[in-house]
């Protein structure tokens, strides 16, 4: 019955793919809405947040909860979830109180008890259990093809996955063993047979093999796990290289007696090998041999000049290039540099320039649907140089002059390119017209912060500068928030105190309403704080619906080993910080929590709480840590 139910919902999802024209997410006045390809607003910006449309629906947040709307802006699933992710394969992941669920487009909860689900095809997905272990799920039947026993699972082509062994409780595996499994769950290569297994490409994978004693050698296996070739001792797997069009780039290294394993020494030079492990191209004048694509490959000689060759290993043209972006052809074209990269152009597989080498730079995205993105460097009005990108076609037309600071590197989607021009998000059509751009308010509006995730601590402080001390030599983030001497300020006496002042408005992040927080020291002695990147260990908490204090701001973390340090607050001094005035669906109380560590006994923690203030938050703020998303 479960299998029939899931299959039914997948069928409905497939039928739903015949949808209306594409819509694009916009943000105006901190609210999400949607436009069409002409830039016309179709769904007004009224939502606190939203995702792009996927399979005809978009997840949007209205007040504190997410629901799903169709392309008319009507809710087909009413707002009820703390967090919601887009539909994929007719399934969306949603959360309530930090608990994940998977739903259909009919808002039916599907019988999957996993924490995460990532599709690798329409019918299969890698799933992650609550313990962090991964397996492989057959979506229509709802059955695990590979049980959730592995530390990681990566699709590897040829209907195979490479899985690594999971670490036990409290265990760290620096070099976990790998196994190869097919998508029916059958073990192809058992754990530990090879020290390293690389991804399959064109049905073959390179592996590191055990040799005599502590030495290793390299070889090739096919998709059944059979050994096809064992390479001679001088040949080793080149970093990041797989089989392409029947050949692979191979490192020719120092003799085995001077090395213990692959990768210990820089290659003397690289050659091409075939599937049987035979060297089919071996010329020491070429330092690097880059993989084949579109029947072509690039060779870099010892003078760092690049030659284009065919599959008979013959030069295609006499021209020598100074560099090749991505070291291969992509979509039938390669971006190449001449004259020490001062001039960039684009060649086809004949080696002829289809775009003359006249550009200061061409973006690594290459040619997408007949367009490429060229660079110009300008000053930002001061001493900083800024890369700005324009759009040109292979026909030689400049579609847009260099105006974009950032853009979607996947190119135009449904006719529009998402970009950042003059520090404002916008959409550009294939004619180079900006069809929509975020508008700036005529008068700044100071708002409360309406968010949906826990952020990391941001209370930056520093000690009173000492004579002769060079603060710039410190490894951690520098701030000018020095201690201030207490004068007429009214702070609790003879104690270390945290005070939130709601009587005066302060600016948070230059655009949100906030409150001042003071950490005052009236003890008559120095107080030592543990800090990370100059952030003291102070967080914010709010009362949840159960009357429990929960963190809505996480303790700071260190970005390097030397970024954990101490800060001293002098006697009768204070620091001033600013916290946001949160806006949310849940009316509650908020407080600050300061944690001090005893330098004699680090396990002994001393906690100081602030006064409680009235506030409001959203439900996801109690648990959701926002993922790092790529910027456009």
Q: Span 54-63, mean pLDDT?
A: 96
User: What is the C-alpha separation between 624 and 366, in angstroms, rounded?
Assistant: 36
pLDDT beyond 50 at 5: no
Give the DSSP per-residue string, 200-234. PBTTEEEEEEE-STT-EEEEEEETTS-EEEE--TT
What pLDDT is stored for residue 549 in this prediction? 97
Q: Above 60 in pLDDT, residue 7? A: no
Alpha carbon distance 403, 170 (integer Å): 51
Residue 529: what pLDDT?
A: 92
**Per-residue pLDDT for 84 more than 80?**
yes
Q: What is the pLDDT of residue 85?
A: 93
pLDDT digit string, tens, across residues 575-588? 999 999 999 999 99
What percentage of residues in the chain have a pLDDT greater than 90?
A: 65
pLDDT of residue 385: 86
Tokens of residue 586, six digits:
């849940």
Residue pLDDT, tens place only, 425-469? 999 999 999 999 999 765 567 899 999 999 888 899 998 887 655
Q: How many CB atoms lie within 10 A of CB 231?
A: 19
pLDDT in tens, 503-515: 989 999 888 999 9
Q: Which tokens hold the place of 472?
A: 């710039």
Confidence of residue 210 (pLDDT cuts 50, 70, 90): confident
Judged on CB neighbours under 10 Å (0-12, 13-18, 19+), 145 is middle
Quickly list H helices, 503-593: none
CA atoms within 13 A on the CB side of 615: 28
Whether the per-residue pLDDT at 326 is higher than 50: the answer is: yes
pLDDT tens for 129-138 read 988 899 999 8
Query: Which runs of E-coded beta strand occur in 360-511?
Result: 361-362, 371-379, 385-393, 398-407, 416-421, 424-429, 434-437, 455-456, 484-485, 496-508
> How long, in residues, is the chain?
632
Assess whether pLDDT exceeds 90 at residue 605: no
> 460 with 479: CB under 8 angstroms?
yes
pLDDT in tens, 332-377: 999 999 876 578 999 999 999 999 999 999 999 999 999 999 999 8
> How much is the average pLDDT of 217-229?
92
Q: How far apart are CA 563 and CA 464, in angstroms?
A: 19
DSSP-assigned letter for residue 9: H
Q: Say what the pLDDT of residue 267 is.
A: 67
DSSP, collapsed to helix, strand or coil, labels residue 13 as helix
Q: CA distances (Å), 472 to each of 237, 535, 557, in order?
A: 44, 17, 21
Strand partners, 61: 49, 66
Lowest-confidence pick of 141-145, 262-266, 282-286, 432-436: 262-266
Q: What is the pLDDT of residue 221?
A: 94
pLDDT of residue 473: 47
Q: Give the H or E element holding residue 6.
A: helix 2-15
Render pLDDT for 386-438 as a digit per residue (tens, 0 to 9). Answer: 999 999 999 889 999 999 999 999 999 999 999 999 999 999 999 999 999 99
β 553-554/455-456 pair status: parallel
Q: Quick check: helix, strand or coil at residue 264? A: coil
Give the pLDDT score at 441.
62
Longest dimension (CA), the chain: 85
CB 176 within 8 A of CB 151: yes
Q: How confident is the model at residue 257 (pLDDT cuts 50, 70, 90)?
A: very low
**pLDDT given for residue 266 in this prediction:** 61
Q: Which of 350, 346, 430 is nearest to 396 (CA)?
A: 346
Residue 104: pLDDT band with limits 50, 70, 90: very high
Residue where the block lists tokens 């039916």: 108
Enumerate residues 6+ apart whose C-beta is below 8 A from 208: 194, 195, 196, 197, 216, 217, 218, 237, 261, 262
Write down the pLDDT at residue 464: 87
């Amino acid at each position: 019955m479960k299998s029939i139910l899931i299959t039914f919902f997948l069928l409905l999802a497939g039928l739903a793919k015949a949808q209306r024209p594409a819509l694009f997410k916009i943000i105006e006045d901190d609210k999400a809405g949607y436009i069409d390809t002409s830039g016309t607003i179709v769904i007004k910006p009224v939502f606190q947040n939203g995702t792009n449309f996927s399979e005809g629906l978009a997840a949007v947040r209205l007040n504190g909860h997410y629901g799903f709307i169709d392309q008319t802006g009507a809710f087909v699933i009413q707002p009820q979830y703390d967090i919601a992710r887009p539909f994929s394969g007719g399934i969306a992941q949603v959360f309530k109180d930090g608990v994940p669920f998977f739903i259909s487009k009919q808002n039916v909860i599907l019988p999957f008890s996993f924490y995460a689900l990532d599709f690798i095809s329409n019918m299969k997905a890698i799933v992650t259990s609550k313990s962090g272990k991964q397996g492989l799920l057959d979506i229509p039947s709802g059955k695990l093809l590979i049980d959730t026993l592995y530390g990681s699972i990566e699709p590897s082509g040829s209907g195979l996955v490479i899985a690594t062994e999971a670490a036990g409780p409290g265990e760290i595996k620096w070099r976990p063993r790998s196994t190869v499994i097919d998508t029916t769950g059958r073990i192809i290569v058992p754990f530990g047979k090879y020290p390293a297994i690389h991804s399959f490409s064109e049905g073959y994978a390179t592996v590191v093999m055990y040799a005599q004693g502590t030495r290793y050698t390299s070889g090739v296996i096919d998709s059944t796990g059979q050994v096809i070739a064992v390479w001679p001792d001088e040949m080793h797997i080149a970093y990041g290289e797989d089989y392409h069009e029947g050949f692979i780039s191979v490192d020719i290294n120092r003799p085995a007696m001077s090395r213990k394993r692959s990768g210990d020494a820089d290659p003397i030079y690289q050659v091409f090998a075939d599937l049987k492990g035979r060297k089919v191209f071996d010329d020491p004048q070429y330092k690097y041999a880059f993989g084949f694509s579109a029947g072509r490959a690039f060779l870099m000689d010892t003078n760092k000049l690049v030659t284009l060759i065919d599959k008979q290993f013959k030069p295609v043209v006499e021209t020598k290039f100074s560099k090749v972006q991505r070291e291969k052809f992509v979509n039938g074209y390669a971006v190449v540099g001449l004259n020490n990269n001062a001039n960039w152009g684009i060649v086809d597989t004949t080696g002829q320039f289809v775009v003359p080498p006249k550009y200061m730079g061409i973006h690594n995205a290459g040619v997408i649907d007949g367009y490429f993105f060229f660079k110009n460097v300008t000053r930002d009005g001061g001493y900083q140089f800024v890369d700005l990108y324009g759009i040109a076609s292979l026909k030689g037309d400049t579609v847009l002059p260099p105006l974009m600071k950032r853009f979607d590197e996947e190119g135009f989607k449904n006719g529009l390119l998402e970009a950042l021009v003059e520090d404002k998000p916008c959409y550009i059509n294939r004619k180079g017209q900006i069809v929509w751009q975020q508008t700036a308010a005529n008068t700044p509006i100071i708002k409360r912060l309406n968010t949906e995730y826990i952020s990391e601590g941001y209370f930056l402080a520093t000690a009173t500068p000492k004579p002769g001390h060079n603060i710039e030599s410190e490894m951690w983030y520098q701030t000018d928030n020095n201690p201030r001497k207490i004068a007429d300020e009214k702070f609790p006496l003879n104690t270390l105190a945290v005070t939130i002042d709601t009587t005066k408005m302060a600016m948070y992040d230059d655009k949100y309403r906030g409150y001042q927080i003071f950490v005052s020291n009236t003890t008559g002695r120095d107080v030592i704080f543990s800090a990370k990147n100059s952030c003291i260990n102070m967080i914010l908490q709010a009362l949840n619906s159960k009357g429990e204090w929960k963190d809505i701001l996480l303790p700071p973390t260190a970005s390097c080993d030397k970024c954990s340090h101490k800060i001293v607050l002098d006697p009768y001094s204070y620091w001033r910080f600013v916290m946001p005035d949160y806006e949310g669906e849940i009316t509650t109380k908020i407080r600050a929590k300061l944690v001090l560590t005893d330098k004699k006994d680090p396990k002994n923690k001393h906690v100081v709480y602030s006064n409680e203030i009235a506030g409001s938050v959203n439900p996801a703020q109690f648990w959701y840590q926002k993922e790092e998303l790529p910027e456009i």
